[in-house]
A and B are shown apart, each in its own frame.
Chain A
């Protein structure tokens, strides 16, 4: 009888103590069903102990992808993109709509809804010197180039956006710029 009481008390204490610790996971039943056999995305230990998300082999093109952007991040590269690079996308409503959607996620914080450089991070003085699109002599090629490589304080956004999304944003930025120039 005494032992029984002891067991109950022990169970109660362990449950209570295990509930309180937020920094550890709960017990798992048959953990081999929880953990995946293939490598997880962002996993720390991939092939030969190297991180999983390493860069693809140079020169490889994903299925349905396009060749890597090869205009270098230099002054000459910028000029080249500005004059020679053209959008492969058709200018239509659908592209523009998604361009606006992506612009609202990735650009609006600094460049603002209208592209006048009055985004929330600019007005709250976290960032200074965001240009108004109308003050800059930009073309679709130069916009794409800056999205790929970044310019001055702006970083590269190539990793967050796909090829198509970047050109859709370019299309939307050009529309914003034309509205500002009016």
Chain B
């Protein structure tokens, strides 16, 4: 009964808070009625497509922050500046001074007419229209809470309680049986005597003895060989990297090409770890992850808060001051931990596989675009290399230089297409020298 009253009180509190929320929502939206949404939208679209590569409303980027720029400059001045600032600088001293703001010159936008510029300026004045928190969003919040589930300690507590309960039941049953007067001890001694007799019988039987020894030796050999075969094979190796970089977000969700960052794979033996300069190509502009981004890192879920700190680590390494938007010159190389490492006695060349053979990166490195945390997908053993060399056909397209030798080899082996192994891909000296 008590719980029911509590429940009803809870719902009433929830309902009240919801009404208050809704009230606020309506008051906000009624306030934003003053804004001409069509103009704001048109201005925003133009701003995003033309201005946003250098300007933000609330922050300095390449150019100054433009929120409320009409309070600082005359409308006509802005129009002349936007249409062709280089020409305007020649006639207006203020404009020449304004050009000193940045080392890069602003582009001219002769394609914009006065109405369009007014729309853009309107957008810089009113800014974003805040969306009212609708009732639906409250629901989403609840769902998020539910998804988090029970904390770990609760699970352990429950497990402990179950174990204790089992022990109690067991002791109770024992007591009951003792009270009933069952002659359990005798049964036990019988069983023990039987087992003892069996053991003596086995001990005296030579055939069984030999069989058991062989069996044990085989098991032992299996275990030892199993262990020996893991020596130097790091399949599944997943060290904890200094920065929580998710390949899933970069190569998967954002569809950045593997070779954008690992650019030396096309020309070099090494695929190479990109320098932070390559990170900064995008992260100069992207200092925060999108709302709701989550990755799984070292058994934990990293949300926006942690991931923003990870981007800050990149800034730290590159010596980039995100407030001043300038390099400080203090660089600290990131100590990434190498995962794929062939022993020095085996030669492997990325360029030969990526550029010449056109092998996809995923063939050896696995579904990297689905990995938050990178791990070694393939065993990288010799047997694994050779398997692929036996199965893969040589691509003969636009390879006229070798056409003759390919034809002769195909004739020799009586096949239509030559595999890598038939071309000498199994020669010891190809990889070990």
Contacts and interface: CB of A to CB of B under 8 A. Distances in A.
Contacts of B53: 127-131, 152-153
Given A36-B344, A129-B54, A155-B280, A161 B231 contact: no
Contacts of B281: 150, 154-157
A46 to B, nearest CB: 11
Interface string B341-359: 1011100000000000000
Q: How large is the interface on B (under 10, 10 to 19, 20 to 34, 35 or more residues)?
A: 35 or more
B285 A22 contact: no
Q: How large is the interface on A (under 10, 10 to 19, 20 to 34, 35 or more residues)?
A: 35 or more
Interface in A112-131: 117, 120-121, 124, 126-131
A49 to B, nearest CB: 12
Nearest to B269: A41
A99 B236 CA distance: 37
Given A29-B232, A117-B49, A120-B254, A22 B375 contact: yes
A33 B61 contact: no
B217 to A, nearest CB: 12
Interface stretch (A7-15, A62-70, A84-92, A171-179): A7-15
Nearest to B290: A126
A136 interface: yes
Contacts, number: 137
A22 B236 contact: yes
A26 B233 contact: yes
A60 interface: no
A58 interface: no
Contacts of A44: 333, 335
B20 interface: no
B48 A129 contact: yes
Interface in B209-258: 220, 223, 226-227, 230-234, 236-240, 254-257
Interface in A127-165: 127-131, 135-136, 150-157, 159-162
Interface of A: 8, 11-12, 15, 18-19, 22-29, 33-37, 41-42, 44, 51, 53, 73-75, 78, 104-106, 108-109, 117, 120-121, 124, 126-131, 135-136, 150-157, 159-162
Interface of B: 48-54, 61-62, 103-105, 107, 111, 220, 223, 226-227, 230-234, 236-240, 254-257, 259-260, 263, 267-270, 272-273, 275, 277-278, 280-282, 284-286, 290, 333, 335-336, 338, 341, 343-345, 375
